[in-house]
Amino acid sequence: MPVNNHHDHNHDHGQNHNHDHELDVAHRLEPSSEGANTLHANPEHVHTDEQTPLSRTAKRALRVGIGGPVGSGKTALVAALCRTFSDELQLAVVTNDIYTTEDADFLLRNGVLPAERVTAVETGGCPHTAIRDDISTNLEAIEELEDALPPLDVIFVESGGDNLTATFSRGLIHQQIFVIDVAGGDKVPRKGGPGVSTSDLLVINKTDLASYVNADLSVMDRDAKAKRGELPVIFTSLTEDPAATDVAAWVREKLSEHNR
């Protein structure tokens, strides 16, 4: 049954949002990499995570957050991982959508998990509000799944489609995957943002479409590594690899670390 979370998302973060276009002396104006003028906002509009990081507890489920823009393939990746792990792990999924149960319905239609293992959260606002700013409804959904089912190995928490700044609270999940897709163009990794730069794993999906949208995968790889340093990047096509083999291997590795 869907869990409603109709919290208002107030964009008044204690900052003055008066749009006076006189240049404040605190703003920085400098050339961009392409030579255009770049005006840096000050103060930066940054969302912070005020939750206590989730502890790693053996014999409790590993919680993996999966976020990314609309249409990047998050739900398809969750479905692929559920199919891949169906015979070896005890799984559950919490999906987040603004006003529908679209993603949960997709998983159920495709039979990747029994209905009692899938809970839908309707966020009622910007998806990041329920995965970072007020995580209470997602926490409740996870706790109900853990209470109702046999000991779970992994719980996937899928965000609704959001922008490049969307991240999960570390009080909600242990590991976070951020999914972008090739169809968005090879510029996406260099646009950065917390999702691209700081997620535990960046998945660049739909590589089979690269030639159709003139996306250069080597450019995406270079720019992603420049933004992420040593953090891993996986290129995938669920059309060519329906088992999401490399992503599944990463989840297995994190589960092994979690259970030590």
Task: Tell me the DSSP string of 47-103.
Answer: ----SPPPP--TTSPEEEEEE-STTSSHHHHHHHHHHHHTTT--EEEEEEESS--HH
Q: Is 221 exposed, middle or buried (0-12, 13-18, 19+ CB in 10 A)?
A: middle
66 Ramachandran zone, left/alpha/beta (phi>0; psi -120 to 50): beta
**What is the pLDDT at residue 57?**
65
Which residue shows structure tokens 């008066």?
18
Residue 155 has pLDDT above 90, yes or no: yes
Task: Output the domain CATH number for residue 86.
Answer: 3.40.50.300
High-pLDDT (> 90) share of the chain, %: 65
Residue 38: band (very low, low, confident or very high) from pLDDT cuts 50, 70, 90: low
Q: Calculate the average pLDDT of the chain.
A: 85
Determine the structural domain holding residue 173 and report its residue range.
Answer: 62-258
Would residue 29 count as lying in a domain? no
Would residue 18 count as lying in a domain? no
164-176 pLDDT, tens digit per residue, is: 878 999 999 999 9
Residue 256: band (very low, low, confident or very high) from pLDDT cuts 50, 70, 90: very high
| Total of domains in the chain | 1
Residue 136: band (very low, low, confident or very high) from pLDDT cuts 50, 70, 90: very high
Residue 156 has pLDDT above 80, yes or no: yes
Tokens representing 35? 């030579």
Looking at the whole model, is its pTM more than 0.75? yes
Tokens representing 70? 């609309």
Residue 12 has pLDDT above 60, yes or no: no
Dist. CA 47–CA 12, nearest whole Å: 12
Rounded to the nearest 10 degrees, what angle do helices 74-85 and 102-109 cross at?
Answer: 40
| Contact status, residue 83 vs residue 113, Cβ threshold 8 Å | no
- Diameter of the chain measured on Cα atoms: 62
Higher pLDDT, 3 or 95: 95
Q: Stretch 170-194: mean pLDDT, rounded?
A: 95
Would residue 126 count as lying in a domain? yes
**What is the pLDDT at residue 62?**
97
**What is the pLDDT at residue 35?**
60
Dist. CA 61–CA 76, nearest whole Å: 22
Higher pLDDT, 99 or 179: 179
Would residue 34 count as lying in a domain? no
Would residue 16 count as lying in a domain? no
Tokens representing 256? 């092994």
Bridge-based pairing state of the strands 62-67 and 201-205: unpaired
Residue 127: band (very low, low, confident or very high) from pLDDT cuts 50, 70, 90: confident
Would residue 40 count as lying in a domain? no
Residue 126: band (very low, low, confident or very high) from pLDDT cuts 50, 70, 90: confident
High-pLDDT (> 70) share of the chain, %: 79
Q: Which of 85, 83, 78, 90 is nearest to 153 (CA)?
A: 90
Which residue shows structure tokens 């987040």?
96
Would residue 17 count as lying in a domain? no
Would residue 43 count as lying in a domain? no
40-70 pLDDT, tens digit per residue, is: 555 554 566 667 777 766 568 999 999 999 9
Cβ count within 10 A of residue 74: 27
Question: How is the chain split among helix, strand and coil, in percent rounded to 5?
Answer: 35, 20, 50
**What is the pLDDT at residue 29?**
62
